[in-house]
Amino acid sequence: MTYHIRVPATTANLGPGFDALGLALKLYNEFRIETIESGIEMLGCDDIPLGENLIYTTIQRLFHEYHHEKYGVRVISHKIDIPLSRGLGSSAACIAAGIVIANRAMGERLGLEDMIRIGTELEGHPDNIVPALVGGMVASIHEGDQVIYTRISIPQSLCFALMIPEFTVSTGEARKVLPDHYSKKDCIFNISRTALLVAAMQNGELEKLRVATGDRIHQPYRMGLIPGLEAIFQKAQALGSKTEVISGSGSTLMAMIERNNIRFEDEMNDFLSAMEGGWYVKILEHDQEGIQIYE
């Protein structure tokens, strides 16, 4: 049996929603899956050792946990468009793919809630894994052994401009720069803006997005890891962006822009071409479907 899967990139936090808000984007990794007699074969990703390949280790873990080592799959990388270590959910995409592949091989014994729970356990937080599996913009929390999530509407006039550099920022590095404790004032600041962001998205109030994406929990501490951030944010605002945020833990930056902002891409690319870091722009719509299986 042969089938294909497609898993979207995701952006997390969206400013104030640290480890809680995530959004799936129309940028994908695609794989062809073949049933084999036994074992797990990975083709097309020879530069990653098997022990570090999250698709491989996820399938291996689930086969072992559910006693299905007798089954075999061959995973062939078909199209890999999600850049690694850029804050676009590359690890969540691999984990989601591994779960879906293993589940298919095991006869669909896992439901969606099971896959979300397992993915969150492997990823460590739900903000990327949930939208990778279900699509859209999602608020997610890890409560005991459950992941509780809800979808958030996105204004149809909104799209997302990603400014992606050549250099990477590891999630581990980005977490090390965060403080161990926050003031009550800063916590209230983020809670209020997260609530405002969700409501502004639901109501299509684009004029409120800039204040609603304010953050004191992670972005002020991560700015130093991304050279050029302030200049890029200022240029994006000058070009009509509704707001700018760090995508996940970086290094990608994201501006929320209106679809009719036709000058943004060309003028931002011209601006970035004069900067160090190998930056480029990609304009994306949000993905509403999450990971998909094609026969």
Binding residues for ATP: 83-93
| Distance from C-alpha of 149 to C-alpha of 129, rounded to nearest angstrom | 11
Amino acid at 182: Y
Beta strand ranges found along the chain (DSSP E): 2-12, 21-36, 39-43, 72-80, 137-143, 146-152, 158-164, 243-246, 253-258, 280-284, 292-294
User: Distances in Å between the alpha carbon of 24 and those of 32, 61, 167?
Assistant: 21, 25, 22
Amino acid at 132: A
Contact predicate 151/137, CB 8 Å: yes
Closest CA to 201 of 288, 131, 248, 137: 137
| Distance from C-alpha of 205 to C-alpha of 287, rounded to nearest angstrom | 20
Residue set of the binding site: 83-93
- List phi, psi (to 5°) of 279: -75, 150
DSSP string, 144-210: TTEEEEEEE---TTEEEEEEE-SS---HHHHHHTS-S---HHHHHHHHHHHHHHHHHHHHT-GGGHH
Q: Report helix, strand or coil for 125.
A: coil
Strand-pairing partners, residue 293, are 5
C-alpha atoms less than 13 angstroms from C-alpha of 239 in its C-beta half-sphere: 25
